[in-house]
Structure 1
Amino acid sequence: MNSKKAVLGSIATIGVAMLALTACSSGGDTESSASSSADSGASTAVISTNGSEPGNPLIPVATNETGGGKIIDAIFAGLVYYDGDGATHNEVAESIETDDNQTFTVTLKEGWTFTDGTEVLAHNFVDAWNWGADPANAATALNSYFFEQIEGFDGYNTDEGASNPEMSGLEVVDDYTFTITLAAPNSEFPLALGYSAFYPLPDSFFDDPEAFGSAPVGNGTYMLASADDWQHDVQIELAVNPDYAGDRVAQNGGLKITFYASQDAAYADLLAGNVDVIDGIPDANFATFEDDLGDRAVNQAAAIFQSFTIPSSDERFQGEAGLLRRQALSYAINRDEITDVLFEGTRTPASDFTSPVIDGWSDSLEGSEVLTYDPEKAAELWAEADAIEPWTGTFQLAYNADGGHQTWVDAVVNSIKNTLGIDAEGLPYATFAEFRTDITNRTITAAFRTGWQADYPSLENFLGPLYYTNAGSNDGDYSSEEFDSLIDEGKQAADSATAIEKFQEAQEVLFQDLPAIPLWYSNVTGGYAEGVENVVFDWHSVPLFYQITKAA
């Protein structure tokens, strides 16, 4: 957004290249799939898919994990949305305009409603964002980090007697217009507005946020028709929203998301024709799933990054000895062997902290050599650490057993054990919800699996939310003034080239400190059943459910 007057029109990308991912479906590219389905008439069949029990209430600003995110994105619509290739389209916004990349004027389309019948107005965005930024809601609003760039976030109005605490950078002009003023210019800011933290909330939310989290009222393609349609730890059923006013009109009769206990169970159901689309293939089937499913198999690059994080409470990894041990662990992992043998080419060894499908990715950052497998170097560094402070105990790597992670975790800990000569083992949690609870509450004592599925197509999205001081998804509690400053400079850059340079420099700080150990980039692997058509997996691995059709 470098022009004097930048407007988000019907199709635009900001600061990123178009992501050319091939759609693995009989329906062709994203636009033609939707059009052809619409031309032939929408299917009335409900589409079934896999998922996991949400780890948080179904409130957009409270959801930062994939189980809840899949549902939130289905039932809410934001100012903009991202198509299958990562391009930005206006949705509730008629236009988003700026002269200086610091103050943005947002004009809404008229006539858009929530599923309770109330109209989506400017204050519904402003009030939602202010609620998310309110320190009083910090325990719930896990995505508040995304509002930090708005003017007034740090000086949030909580004066005694204030009837409606608010950020000074948000102003309602009229029912369909509001302005956003940032603390500093940010050319990438409009790109983030399709992320769920920026969704609107109806007035009813503020009456009882806790109740809303169990029976959300959205404005998206689908809707939760009744609280009874959410059977916790079993499934959730979403009906088509008949009043949805955007471009992503459902071409089917609804969506059923089953909370499978394992990927093996989901894949078995796919082969048996009991589920329509899944977005994860069990490790044991990587070698055969493309033969099993033929042209219904999906294996394509996606904006997904895998790592593991060591909790800040583990004193064995603090100080000079701790940094040496982090480096030793990284050198001790044979990423090439694990991705080739175990993942059958569905993963690529990491060379940075982001993703190759994002514009600005680099495989030659200073410090990235720590991601190579060098057992001699690993043993040397570990010995140096022991000379400072002897190692005690067992190295454990925690993971959620319902996510299909056991095989690779075992491979990683075995690589560490064999290289360093220490006790190392995996630590399984039965469910993702239990796993995330211990991480969020900082009660986890082992290193733990971490990963990132991009919210919007930008290098910064892989960096700021995970490693910026006090960011909502900074599970390792990392803090670096140098890193934070470089992220700020990148967001304030006048052009994308300068922004990318700063984000790359920020990664070089991460390589010095290793707050997380990068492992690999993931392809999205999945498939769909016979009779299911128009299946497209988008740039960050999620099926475009609204386009999918099947015979009734």
Structure 2
Amino acid sequence: MIAAASLTLAACGGGSDSEGGGSGGTSDAVITSFSTQPQNPLIPTNTNEVGGGNIVDLIFAGLISYKTDGSSENEVADSITSDDNKLWTVKIKSGWTFSDGTDVTANSFVDAWNYGADAANEQLSAYFFYPIAGTDDEGTIPDGGKTISGLKVVDDSTFTIELKQSESDFPSRLGYSAFFPLPASAFDDMDAFGKKPIGNGPYDFASMTDNVEAVLTPSKTYEGVRPAKNGGVTLKFYENPDTAFSDVQAGNLDVLDQVPPSALTTYKDDSSIQAFSEPGSPNSTITIPESLPGFEKGEEGNLRRQAISKAINREEITDKIFDGSRIPSTDFSSPLMPGFTEDIEGQDVLDFDAAGAKDLWAQADAIKPFEGKFVVAYNADGPGNKEWVEALTNQLKNNLGINAEPKAFPTFAELRTEVTDRTIGTAFRTGWQPDYPSIYNYIAPIFGTGAGSNDGDYSNKDLDALLQQASGAQDDTERYKLYADAQAILFKDLPAIPLWNTSISAAAADGVKNVKFNWQNKPELQDITK
């Protein structure tokens, strides 16, 4: 099996055992962690945002899992092998069960993937199945089909995956939630299942109170590589990040993965908490749907997108609001990804140039005058969102001479609902926490035609073709060049405006032990004790 590249992203607490930074074995204490209200019921193939993902990743186990540094190891899989990188044989380990006591079998995976690829089910993560033979370019089964022809169950512990082309790195994607298994009972009533899911991971789902919390308890049957070392995890849903930070200081919240801007200049010296600061992989962007007047596909829309990008002073925002805990973007991925390069055609569109931006906007106005205002929507429960969106829209006002303003949604779930329903009617903040460590994952699920996270409905067949070539590349050098070529197209079209990458700026309460953050900037909650 080709493992995902290892990344140096682990952030560890610097205190002694008594201060909470060292090893503390296991404990029966329940760990509380910051999160947000999930957008949808907890079905793995329909969960593509952080609030739901935080839960799904703890209550399910996939064929592989990712270590803290981003490298991969088999979890449910005993082996994933191929002679030609096109036909893969998967053997799963014996003894795996779901929390309802039923066995995890080959059918548990194949049936779940078939459900996810069934177009009638409209699953947000269907796009991840597109490499498999028997799906279309959007990952769904054509002509109303119910089963993916490229999946075959051999016996209870074995199934095969036939791809459309040879892809040597395909197994490294199989730790993402779209590829999680489901018990047979899920298909009796998927809506009911999503409200109280039955998983096979290190934790069992106990309960969830909307806009309050989700309670997870340690699994009694899990024997995988991520055993729970605590008495459970409670994910608390906050609408005000400042309140969450105050709760960490007071010992009422154990882990906060993003310190709010109000505390960024002081948190590292705060003796009441444990502070964490390391490079990180998520990015932040602004998505501008092609349906917005003035930003449609064509010369006028391209000029306005370029003008918006050049009118943003990324360094000013990352320094003054985020105290250097954000790094201005130089591409659509992260400098921590294998194959990262700044040598991409069109990358200079990210350079701040107020005069150049105003000239580009004037060229667009010469084609057709812009009417109305440019609005950027954001969720107020995300740390720093209010501050940076207000700063950015002020920059657009000053540098372009246009009417630009922010629009706040109270919660991430509310914002995502309008984005998913395509009722948003404005530009909006977006970002990406990678599903597996690859530049490909920053491009294909977001900008591929029909992809589940393609919130701006962008489509470019040349980009799609390059992504397909990159998937089939037989060596890293060729693959990385194709990634750069694909990003050159994105820099020309700018379906989203890259802003910055988010470093790990996190806090844990005093007395909390074994705190570390992984390659996704997420805490390894199963390891934390107190």
TM-score (ref. length: structure 1): 0.92
1:324 touches 1:384 (CA, 8 Å); kept in 2?
yes
Question: Which residue does the alignment assign to 1:3?
Answer: none
1:24 touches 1:297 (CA, 8 Å); kept in 2?
no
Deviation of 1:23 after TM superposition, in Å, equals 2.2
Question: Which residue does the alignment assign to 1:288?
Answer: 266
Counterpart of 2:133 (choices 151, 161, 164) is: 151
Counterpart of 1:339 (choices 318, 322, 330) is: 318
Question: Which residue does the alignment assign to 1:177?
Answer: 158
Question: Which residue does the alignment assign to 1:431?
Answer: 411
Asked if 1:20 corresponds to 2:20, the answer is: no
Counterpart of 1:540 (choices 520, 523, 527) is: 520
Write the distance in 1 (CA, Å) between the matches of 2:362 and 2:140.
Answer: 49
Question: Which residue does the alignment assign to 2:29?
Answer: 45
Deviation of 1:389 after TM superposition, in Å, equals 0.3
Asked if 1:523 corresponds to 2:503, the answer is: yes
Query: Which aligned pairs between 1:193-342 and structure 2 lie closer than 5 A?
Result: 193-225=174-206, 229-293=207-271, 296-318=274-296, 319-342=298-321
Question: Which residue does the alignment assign to 2:339?
Answer: 360
Write the distance in 2 (CA, Å) between the matches of 1:302 and 1:97.
Answer: 32
Counterpart of 1:479 (choices 431, 436, 459) is: 459
Residue 85 to residue 295, structure 1, CA distance change in 2 (3 Å): farther
1:103-122 deviation per Cα after TM superposition (whole angstroms, max 9, x unaligned) = 11001000000000001000
1:127-159 deviation per Cα after TM superposition (whole angstroms, max 9, x unaligned) = 000000001101xx1000000110001397777
Residue 262 to residue 308, structure 1, CA distance change in 2 (3 Å): same
Question: Which residue does the alignment assign to 1:132?
Answer: 116
Question: Which residue does the alignment assign to 1:4?
Answer: none
- The letter of the residue matching 1:100 is D
Write the distance in 2 (CA, Å) between the matches of 1:247 and 1:429.
Answer: 38
Write the distance in 2 (CA, Å) between the matches of 1:352 and 1:60.
Answer: 29
Write the distance in 2 (CA, Å) between the matches of 1:525 and 1:236.
Answer: 24
Write the distance in 2 (CA, Å) between the matches of 1:185 and 1:293.
Answer: 54
2:249 touches 2:272 (CA, 8 Å); kept in 1?
no
- The letter of the residue matching 1:291 is D
- The letter of the residue matching 1:522 is T
Taking only aligned residues, the RMSD between alpha carbons, in angstroms, comes to: 1.7
Question: Which residue does the alignment assign to 2:360?
Answer: 381
TM-score (ref. length: structure 2): 0.96
Write the distance in 1 (CA, Å) between the matches of 2:299 and 2:164.
Answer: 36
Write the distance in 1 (CA, Å) between the matches of 2:48 and 2:504.
Answer: 19
Deviation of 1:378 after TM superposition, in Å, equals 0.4
- The letter of the residue matching 2:31 is I
1:172 touches 1:178 (CA, 8 Å); kept in 2?
yes
1:27 touches 1:534 (CA, 8 Å); kept in 2?
no
SS at match of 1:296: strand
Residue 251 to residue 216, structure 1, CA distance change in 2 (3 Å): same
Write the distance in 2 (CA, Å) between the matches of 1:152 and 1:321.
Answer: 39
Write the distance in 2 (CA, Å) between the matches of 1:64 and 1:488.
Answer: 22
Deviation of 1:21 after TM superposition, in Å, equals 2.1
Query: Which aligned pairs between 1:454-533 and structure 2 lie closer than 5 A?
Result: 454-533=434-513
Question: Which residue does the alignment assign to 1:57?
Answer: 41
1:351 touches 1:364 (CA, 8 Å); kept in 2?
no
1:137-184 deviation per Cα after TM superposition (whole angstroms, max 9, x unaligned) = 01xx10000001100013977779x8xx21111000111000001111
Write the distance in 1 (CA, Å) between the matches of 2:141 and 2:463.
Answer: 28
Write the distance in 2 (CA, Å) between the matches of 1:507 and 1:170.
Answer: 32
SS at match of 1:398: strand
Deviation of 1:322 after TM superposition, in Å, equals 1.2
Counterpart of 1:90 (choices 74, 77, 83) is: 74
1:187-246 deviation per Cα after TM superposition (whole angstroms, max 9, x unaligned) = 221110000000000000000000000000000000113xxx211111011000010010
Write the distance in 1 (CA, Å) between the matches of 2:133 and 2:429.
Answer: 34
Structure 1 vs Structure 2: percent identity of aligned residues? 50
- The letter of the residue matching 1:135 is A
Residue 188 to residue 391, structure 1, CA distance change in 2 (3 Å): same
Write the distance in 2 (CA, Å) between the matches of 1:368 and 1:222.
Answer: 43
Q: Which runs of 5+ in 2 are unaligned?
A: none
- The letter of the residue matching 1:256 is T
Write the distance in 1 (CA, Å) between the matches of 2:234 and 2:143.
Answer: 45
Counterpart of 2:329 (choices 350, 361, 372) is: 350
